[in-house]
Structure 1
Amino acid sequence: MLLLGIDLGTSSIKVSVVDAATRKAVASTSYPTDTEREIQSPQHGWAEQDPELWWSDVQNAIQALTKAGTFNPADIQAIGITYQMHGLVVVDKAGKVLRPSIIWCDGRAIDIGNAAKKQLSESYCLTQLLNFPGNFTSSKLGWVKAHEPEVYHQTYKMMLPGDFIALRLTGNITASPSMLSEGVFWDFKKEEISEALLTAMDLDKGLLPETQPVFSVHGKLKADIAQHLGLEPGIPISYKAGDQPNNALSLGVLEPGEIATTAGTSGVIYAVTDQRYFDPLSRVNSFAHVNHGKDHRRIGILLCINGTGISNRWIKQMTDPGLSYGAMDDKAYATAVGAEGLLFLPFGNGAERVLCNAFIGAHMENIDFNLHQRAHMYRAVHEGIAFSFRYGLDIMREGGTAAKVVKAGKANMFLNKTFIQAFVNVTGLTLELYNTDGSVGAALGAGIGQGFYATPGEAFEKLEKLAVYEPDPALVTQYETIYQQWKALLDTKLEKNNIHS
């Protein structure tokens, strides 16, 4: 039995075919292969992508695998989807996309969210939604109603990015508590859609898809699409989840006290708790985990740093587009810890929730024209990203997160020894790297949804650990000094912008 996993990322689509018995990928590919998908920014602080381009990329990736001849497509018996979180897709009754997707790092709807927070009260938002509405999906839908009423009135259903791919594959539109909570539509006290939030934003409840469990059949592959993709008709989509809950799932992080991390375009630390946790300033956010239920509370506490891999990509484009990321890492690692005083704030990718939805921009400070070379800039970027993780992790620790070990897939920024060195020693966490990724996690999630595995934990009992990195006491002391300098710089920028984080 084979399982197909689709990972809808910001810069590309990755698809993997996984053997359900061994839990190993038998084939994987990404699309596009020679570039990264761009984020369109029609105005400052806006971020959009074309959902139909996502769908085109998904088709190309699946066709590349089914035509390769490395497995029998007829053996695929379930499909799972994971996707970039918090985006908004709106379609009409015919399934036509009505506007570009307003994606996760878009900041235009903050005022809409703040108005709803004021109307609902901070207490309600924190104790029942576990988050301020901020610039999450509900606020983005409110923005469309306020600023594009002709689009809103044509809308049949709103959805998140993964729902849209499932719609194109099956013709069905569904949601789950996990997906609705990441859009800040979910009341955790009542374990249902928040009628109060819909009223505060004057949103039509009928625009929300039917709610069902994460691990359930969300539709079956249409015959015409199956033929086009080289698959069998009727394959169930038996799992859908946002990329960060899915990343945690792919690492077997399911129970209270366990934490996972990832560092793609954005960076995340994700901790699981059985409490209705909220941060008083909503700097870190709480969503229903994939295994959350009314009588089995599992909340994922999510720290997000928008400017992670995209910072590394930016410095590459600005200095030497032809240089590989591996070569950049080698140059950075050969440079002294601390980059000879160069400091980098990676906050140039939209409003940062960890900074109370502020946009302060990215900053490279203390540049000395006679001293600093490209290698120093590469190291400063890697360290600045790691320092931003530490900044957010300290907020999580204030809220009770006490884990000493964090799990990650060996991918993206966790392929870079400079970043790993900085991350481990500035956070004090032991890092375990595993042979997995989001597309593999989505495939195994489909196996859970299809009932192939008795429990979610069973799906990940053969997870392969590749490496362990532990803090070095000498480097911990050195990095602590540099981090405090970095934090003082950040505090100065926040004070200048009258931001109290």
Structure 2
Amino acid sequence: MYWIGFDIGSSSIKAALIRADDGSFVGMAQYPEKEMDITSTKPGWAEQDPEVWWQNLCIASKKLISENSIDEKDIKGIGISYQMHGLVVVGKDLKPLRPSIIWCDSRAVDIGERLFQSAGTEKCVEHLLNSPGNFTLSKLKWVKDNEPDLYKKIHKFMLPGDYIALRLSGQCIATPSGLSEGIMWDFKKNDLADWLLEDAGIDSSLVPEIRPSFSEQGIVNKQGAVESGLPEGIPIMYRAGDQPNNALSLNVMEPGQIAATGGTSGVVYAISGQKNTNEHTRINSFAHTNHSSEHPRIGKLLCINGTGIQYSWIKNELSNGISYNQMNQEAGTVPIGSNGLQILPFGNGAERMLKNYNKGSRILNLNFNVHKAAHIYRAALEGIAFSFVYGMEILKNDGVNISSIKAGNDNLFRAEIFSKTIATLTNSQINIVETTGAVGAARAAAYAFGVFKNIGEATATDKVELTHEPEISAQVYQEAYLKWKKSLNEYLNN
């Protein structure tokens, strides 16, 4: 018997199978192999057709079943992970009325700020743990203000994962975790923030039925089964946005635990047990998958835009064709602190953790008689690591006491200089685990069904592939970091 998990990204759809008895990984499929198109008809806009997500999921699902030679009737249920903050609107026929306004679309920034002011800044921070920002509710208000005729046709609005569940089951269901990432969940009331919807002029009847993240969220109907290749009648038992789901995949569920990723951008997702925030302008706080009013579990998300993209830019433009591993090896020949060379890796748009500062990256103290390519590689890795540490200091100021750090299997965290620097400066062990969001979603669904006692049991077959321990002597790291942070403050105050 098996459970299947889907990860609905903006690049591709991933599907994964796990065994029902122990949660072990069976196989993975992805479609398309090339990235899905993102339509941008105006600067700052980003849209995708939800129907394309569904078509690609059906292909990935059938491919997974075929390649692993299993009987689809042996699949017991479904879990879904999805790209966060997107907006899908459907009419009474449950078909999309327009393309989805996805996570990286920035058209609703000003609307979110006006809502923040009109609804009351103190009330928003106290009840929502965020400003409305450029998230799902603000995007829906953009539709109301700019496409009023279309808005009148809306039957329900939802997040990307909700739409996939709709296509599988024919039911419109939302979750508290999903509504919180759309900035529509009142943590004080432990219910929908209907007062904010009212301020935005949004009818709360457009919100789907709300069910917990770990619960039955629809049953695959005949049409969903035929199109996806899955058996009719199996339940959808779990749904969460990609960052909360990534944390779950790494068994990051309790206060003090951190899930970190270092891809094109960097993300630090920390679990807190407190329903408050001091840093609503620099981080976002969402209901984690296991959040409840009695046992708060708040996922505090900090994003750093200029991380892996900087290192890949250096590789593509300056490395003369060598591999990342070779770059990392050469960086290892340079002492900690890169002989004074510093890089501020903030060249990929406005940085929320820097209060939306956006003046590009900086290379500082370059000396043509001292510094070689290896110094640039090390300074880049150190600069990215220092930005992670700087972000974790913000999280500490927001009540997060770091107890452990887990990361997925990506290039940055495999670079010893990068991970060792973070581990030493935070005095935390970093464990790198081989897993994926689709696998995590499948395990979460099995847990919700009662197959496992907890997420730790569901992920027990995962192995820690690599561990980075803090250096015993941290002084040289600390000196280099303090110099870098001084340069950052000068950059911010210039």
Question: TM-score w.r.t. structure 2 length?
Answer: 0.89
Q: Is the 8 A contact 1:386 1:426 kept in 2?
A: no
Tell me which amino acid in the other structure corresponds to 2:130.
N
Residue 495 (structure 1) aligned with residue 488 (structure 2): no
For 1:91, the equivalent position in structure 2 comes to: 90
For 1:110, the equivalent position in structure 2 comes to: 109
Residue 430 (structure 1) aligned with residue 432 (structure 2): no
State the alpha-carbon separation in 1 of the partners of residues 406 and 281 from structure 2.
Answer: 24
Worse-superposed segment, 310-319 or 433-442:
310-319
For 2:482, the equivalent position in structure 1 comes to: 484
CA-CA distance at 1:180 after TM superposition: 0.4
For 1:3, the equivalent position in structure 2 comes to: 3
**CA separation of 1:42 and 1:445: change in aligned 2, threshold 3 A:** same
CA-CA distance at 1:315 after TM superposition: 4.2
Worse-superposed segment, 330-339 or 53-62:
330-339
What is the CA deviation profile of residues 320-369 of structure 1, one whole-angstrom value per residue up to 9, with x for unaligned ones?
79765545544544555445554433334444332234444444455567
State the alpha-carbon separation in 1 of the partners of residues 139 and 186 from structure 2.
Answer: 18
**CA separation of 1:88 and 1:448: change in aligned 2, threshold 3 A:** same
**CA separation of 1:19 and 1:494: change in aligned 2, threshold 3 A:** same
Task: For structure 1, list consecutive stretches of 5 or more residues without a partner in the other structure.
Answer: 497-501
Q: Is the 8 A contact 1:6 1:13 kept in 2?
A: yes
Worse-superposed segment, 40-49 or 407-416:
40-49
Worse-superposed segment, 348-357 or 196-205:
348-357
SS at match of 2:226: helix
Matching of residues 12-51 of structure 1 within 5 Å: 12-33=12-33, 35-37=34-36, 40-51=39-50
CA-CA distance at 1:286 after TM superposition: 1.6
- The percent of aligned pairs where both chains have the same amino acid is 47
What is the CA deviation profile of residues 159-178 of structure 1, one whole-angstrom value per residue up to 9, with x for unaligned ones?
21211222222222211111
For 1:355, the equivalent position in structure 2 comes to: 354
Worse-superposed segment, 55-64 or 125-134:
55-64
CA-CA distance at 1:466 after TM superposition: 2.5
CA-CA distance at 1:133 after TM superposition: 1.3
**CA separation of 1:217 and 1:495: change in aligned 2, threshold 3 A:** same
**CA separation of 1:173 and 1:331: change in aligned 2, threshold 3 A:** farther
What is the CA deviation profile of residues 449-500 of structure 1, one whole-angstrom value per residue up to 9, with x for unaligned ones?
22222444432344422332112144x433333333433343334334xxxx
Worse-superposed segment, 79-88 or 457-466:
457-466
SS at match of 1:112: helix
CA-CA distance at 1:27 after TM superposition: 0.5
Matching of residues 457-468 of structure 1 within 5 Å: 457-468=456-467
Q: Is the 8 A contact 1:107 1:350 kept in 2?
A: no
**CA separation of 1:122 and 1:321: change in aligned 2, threshold 3 A:** farther
Matching of residues 82-231 of structure 1 within 5 Å: 82-231=81-230
State the alpha-carbon separation in 2 of the partners of residues 394 and 21 from structure 1.
Answer: 41
State the alpha-carbon separation in 1 of the partners of residues 400 and 40 from structure 2.
Answer: 36
CA-CA distance at 1:417 after TM superposition: 3.2
State the alpha-carbon separation in 2 of the partners of residues 201 and 154 from structure 1.
Answer: 17
State the alpha-carbon separation in 2 of the partners of residues 324 and 477 from structure 1.
Answer: 31
**CA separation of 1:143 and 1:316: change in aligned 2, threshold 3 A:** farther
SS at match of 2:67: coil
Worse-superposed segment, 178-187 or 262-271:
262-271
SS at match of 2:51: helix
Q: Is the 8 A contact 2:278 2:397 kept in 1?
A: no
What is the CA deviation profile of residues 136-182 of structure 1, one whole-angstrom value per residue up to 9, with x for unaligned ones?
22222222323333443333322212112222222222111111011
Tell me which amino acid in the other structure corresponds to 2:257.
E
**CA separation of 1:276 and 1:436: change in aligned 2, threshold 3 A:** same
SS at match of 1:219: coil
**CA separation of 1:158 and 1:471: change in aligned 2, threshold 3 A:** same
**CA separation of 1:92 and 1:348: change in aligned 2, threshold 3 A:** farther
CA-CA distance at 1:214 after TM superposition: 0.5
**CA separation of 1:368 and 1:226: change in aligned 2, threshold 3 A:** farther
For 2:265, the equivalent position in structure 1 comes to: 266
For 1:235, the equivalent position in structure 2 comes to: 234
Tell me which amino acid in the other structure corresponds to 1:61.
A
What is the CA deviation profile of residues 106-127 of structure 1, one whole-angstrom value per residue up to 9, with x for unaligned ones?
3332221211111222211111
SS at match of 1:67: helix
Tell me which amino acid in the other structure corresponds to 2:297.
R
For 1:499, the equivalent position in structure 2 comes to: none
SS at match of 1:118: helix
**CA separation of 1:61 and 1:118: change in aligned 2, threshold 3 A:** same
Worse-superposed segment, 146-155 or 168-177:
146-155
State the alpha-carbon separation in 1 of the partners of residues 295 and 322 from structure 2.
Answer: 48
Q: Is the 8 A contact 2:256 2:404 kept in 1?
A: no
Tell me which amino acid in the other structure corresponds to 2:485.
K
Worse-superposed segment, 323-332 or 186-195:
323-332
Tell me which amino acid in the other structure corresponds to 1:18.
I
Task: For structure 2, list consecutive stretches of 5 or more residues without a partner in the other structure.
Answer: none
What is the CA deviation profile of residues 381-440 of structure 1, one whole-angstrom value per residue up to 9, with x for unaligned ones?
433322221111101112232224212233353233343233323433210122322111
SS at match of 1:154: coil
CA-CA distance at 1:447 after TM superposition: 0.4
**CA separation of 1:258 and 1:69: change in aligned 2, threshold 3 A:** closer
SS at match of 1:276: coil
What is the CA deviation profile of residues 42-73 of structure 1, one whole-angstrom value per residue up to 9, with x for unaligned ones?
44444444433433432332222112134333
SS at match of 2:152: helix
For 1:344, the equivalent position in structure 2 comes to: 343
Q: Is the 8 A contact 2:420 2:471 kept in 1?
A: no
Tell me which amino acid in the other structure corresponds to 1:176.
T
State the alpha-carbon separation in 2 of the partners of residues 232 and 7 from structure 1.
Answer: 19
What is the CA deviation profile of residues 292-332 of structure 1, one whole-angstrom value per residue up to 9, with x for unaligned ones?
12333222222222333444444445457976554554454
**CA separation of 1:461 and 1:307: change in aligned 2, threshold 3 A:** same
State the alpha-carbon separation in 2 of the partners of residues 150 and 319 from structure 1.
Answer: 51
What is the CA deviation profile of residues 7-26 of structure 1, one whole-angstrom value per residue up to 9, with x for unaligned ones?
22343332210112222111
